[in-house]
Structure 1
Amino acid sequence: MIIRELCVENFTEIPRAVQAGVERIELCDNLAVGGTTPSYAVIQQANEFIEQNDSKTILAVMIRPRGGDFVYNSYEAKIMENDVLKAVEAGAQNLVFGALTAENTIDIDLIETLMVASQGIPVTFHMAFDAISADQQTEAIDQLVELGVDKILMHGAALDQALPHDKIKSLVAYAAGKIKIIIGGGVTFDNYENLSELTGTNFVHGTKIIK
C-alpha cells in the first residue's frame, strides 16, 4: 500500500484531504518559503475536524520558525522547542522538523532537544536532508536512526531538478528496516505510483498528491 502524504497550507484544504481519504496530511503555513509552523488554533481545528469525521488520516505538523536555511540560533531553537510542545498539545499526531549545523550536517544537539519535546510521537526529518552532502547521507541516516527519528523526507536533488530515483533507491535500500523514506518534490497524483516503484518506497508526499 502506498502512503500518500498531502502537504497543505493552513486549514482550508483539510476537509478536501479528509474526504479524499489521504493517509497522511502535513500541515504547515507559508508554502511560498517551503513551509513554516502553523498556528496553535489551526493545528487544533485540523485535529478536531479529523476526529469529528472519524478519519484515519494522520496529522503531521511542520515545525519550522522561518524560511531560508536550516541552521538555527539559540533563540530559534527555543521557539522550535516551544512550538513542538504546543503542537503536541493541540493534537499533532506526527511532527516534521529538521536542523543542520553550519557545515550542513545533522544538528544533533537541537534534534535531541526536539525529540524529547516530541514526547514519543513519530517524527519526520524534512527536506533539510537534501542539503547534506551526498557522501555523508548514509552517516546522517544512521544518526537519525540513533536519535529515534521515524522518517526522512527527501527529494534527492535541488527542487528544480527531476527526482533522482536511482540515488533515492540506494538510500531506501540502505535505510530498510531502520527508518522510512518519504519522497517529495514534483511528486503528484499522476506520477506517484511510478515514482514509488522506481525508488522502492511506499511513502509519497506532495501538494498535488490527490486530484
Structure 2
Amino acid sequence: MKDIKIEVCAGSYEDCLAAARGKADRVELNSALALGGLSPTEATLRLVKRDTDLKVICMVRPRGAGFHYTEVERKVMMAEAKSFLENGADGIAFGFLNADGTIDVEATKEMIDLIHSYNKEAVFHRAVDVTPDFEEAFRILVELKADRVLTSGQEEKAMQGKEQIKKMQELFGDQIEILAGSGMNATNAMEMIQETGIHQIHSSCKGYDNDPTTSGEKVTYSYLAGEHANDYDVVKEELVARLMAAIGR
C-alpha cells in the first residue's frame, strides 16, 4: 500500500498550527468554513509557511454558494491563485462548473495550466460531488491533467459514498489522486482506505471553543445552534493526532 497522507481542513492560522502539532501531512487552507470554505488571506498563508512544515493547498472560492461563476468572479479567482502560488502555496483547490453542473472545461484548464506553470498541485474540490455524471467528470479532470480530486462520492458523507469512490479509484486511480473527505476521522479512515484502495484522507478534525461575547441580551452573532450557540469550530490537535495514530503513524 502507498504511504497514507492526511490532509486537514483548516480555517485559520491557529488551525494550521494545531494540524502541524498533530503531525498532519498537509492542510487545505480556507477562510469562512461555515460557508463551505472561502479563499484565505495571503497573510495567513505566509504565516503558515513561515511557522510550519506543512504542505499548504489554498482554497480559491469567492462565495459560499454554488460553483458556476461570473466572469468577474473567475478573474478574481485566477488573480488569487496567482498570488497564493507566488507566496508559497503548494497547490490550489478550486472547482468550476457550468450552469448545468458539468465541468467548465475552459475555466478548469485555465486554472490547471496556471498552477502547473508554478509546478504546483491542481486540486479539484467537492464541486465534483454535484456534477450530473460523476464518471464523466473524472474523465474530464484526468484529460485536463488535474493532480487530485476531493470527493465524498456524491454523498453527504464519504463513508456513504465509498462504493463510488472505490469505482473511481479502480477506473482512474493510476491517473489522478483521489482524496476522500466529509465525515472522515480516526474511527473510519482505515476502513475507507482498505475498502476503496485510496490512500489520502481529508478531515476537519473539528472541535469547538467558546466565546461568550458571541451573544448579547438582544443581539447574537452565532452561526451555530443549540449547545454550540456561543462556540466557533476549530481544528483540535488531539483529533489530528488520533487520526494519524489510526493509520499507524
What CA distance in whole angstroms lies between the structure 2 residues aligned with 1:170 and 1:160?
16
Partner of 1:170: 167
Gaps of 5+ in 2: 206-238, 243-249
1:54-203 correspondence runs (5 A): 55=53, 57-118=54-115, 119=117, 120-133=119-132, 136-159=133-156, 162-203=159-200
- In structure 2, the residue corresponding to 1:86 is in which secondary structure? helix
Cα RMSD over matched residues?
1.5
- In structure 2, the residue corresponding to 1:32 is in which secondary structure? helix
TM-score, structure 1 as length reference? 0.91
How many pairs are equivalent? 204
Asked if 1:12 corresponds to 2:14, the answer is yes
Flag the structure with larger Rg. Answer: 2
Q: What is the deviation of 1:117?
A: 2.4
Q: What is the deviation of 1:116?
A: 2.7
- The C-alpha deviation readout for 1:129-181, integer Å capped at 9, x for no partner, is 00112xx2222212111212000000013426852211211111111211011
What CA distance in whole angstroms lies between the structure 2 residues aligned with 1:142 and 1:161?
20
Overall identity of the aligned pairs, in %:
27
- The C-alpha deviation readout for 1:29-83, integer Å capped at 9, x for no partner, is 1111110000110111111112xxxx3x311111111111000010000010000
Match of 1:41 among 32, 40, 43: 43
Gaps of 5+ in 1: none
What CA distance in whole angstroms lies between the structure 2 residues aligned with 1:170 and 1:10?
34
What CA distance in whole angstroms lies between the structure 1 residues aligned with 2:137 and 2:185?
27
The structure 1 segments of at least 4 consecutive aligned residues displaced by more than 6 Å after TM superposition are none
TM-score, structure 2 as length reference? 0.78
